[in-house]
Homo-oligomer: A and B are copies of this chain.
Amino acid sequence: MRAYETVLKSIEADLRSGKIKIGDQLPGERALAETHGISRASVRDAIRILDAMGMVRTSTGSGPNSGAVVISEPAIGLSATLRLHVASRQLSVADIVESRILLETWAARSADLSSDPERSAAVLRRTADLLTAMDDPGLNREEFHDLDSQFHVLLSSLAGNAVIEAMMESLRLSISEYVSESVSGDDAWQQIAEVLRAQHHGIHRAVAAGDGTVAATLLREHIDWFYTETRQL
């Protein structure tokens, strides 16, 4: 086992046992190095890896609040990994798109508005607000994509499976640059955005009406259409 793996295993064990929780600050480099009998360089390796996996947030600078804080943003780590494997052509964009369709249509069919009506109503209000924001023709592309991503992730949260949500978001993030590269010119982009807006409203209506089957069909068409328009698979 490499030295940094000792630290990762120990942090995993401490997370499992509840000794470390989200929001906690990890012990400093020196303390971790002493505890595990390894070099400070190996401790830094472990912290960098945790950072890349979306498990800690490290701040630069020094002082008592400069350590690594435990967070949990699985989609960050998953998408960073997927991106590189897509770049190496071991995973294809077509397979990523097919997987995204599988996860999102499952989430639409599994959405259950009645199990927690208040929460569902809040999600539907927030997703409606995101659609209104996306209707603004003055948005630039990056702003649009950011709202678009929030819309899909939030809507799929109605299915109540955080793993599917994280995987869905990571699939999307892992290929976003392939899409961005392919649409050149603001005119072409504005035309695409117009269609996306209409599709989003349709998906939202179907989910709000509790019709998971229709929502799933519309989502499949929406995702298929987008990737066909924006690149050659």
Contact = CB atoms under 8 A, between A and B. Distances in A.
A62 interface: no
A214 interface: no
A32 interface: no
A193 interface: no
A21 B89 CA distance: 9
Interface in A53-112: 53-55, 70, 72, 74, 77-78, 80-85, 87-92, 95-96, 98-99, 102-103, 106
A72 B88 contact: yes
Count of identical protomers in the assembly: 2
A29 interface: no
Interface residues of A, number: 50
B52 A90 contact: no
A8 B4 CA distance: 19
B98 A163 contact: yes
B82 A164 contact: no
**Of A72, A81, A162, most B-chain CB atoms within 10 Å:** A81
B72 A163 contact: no
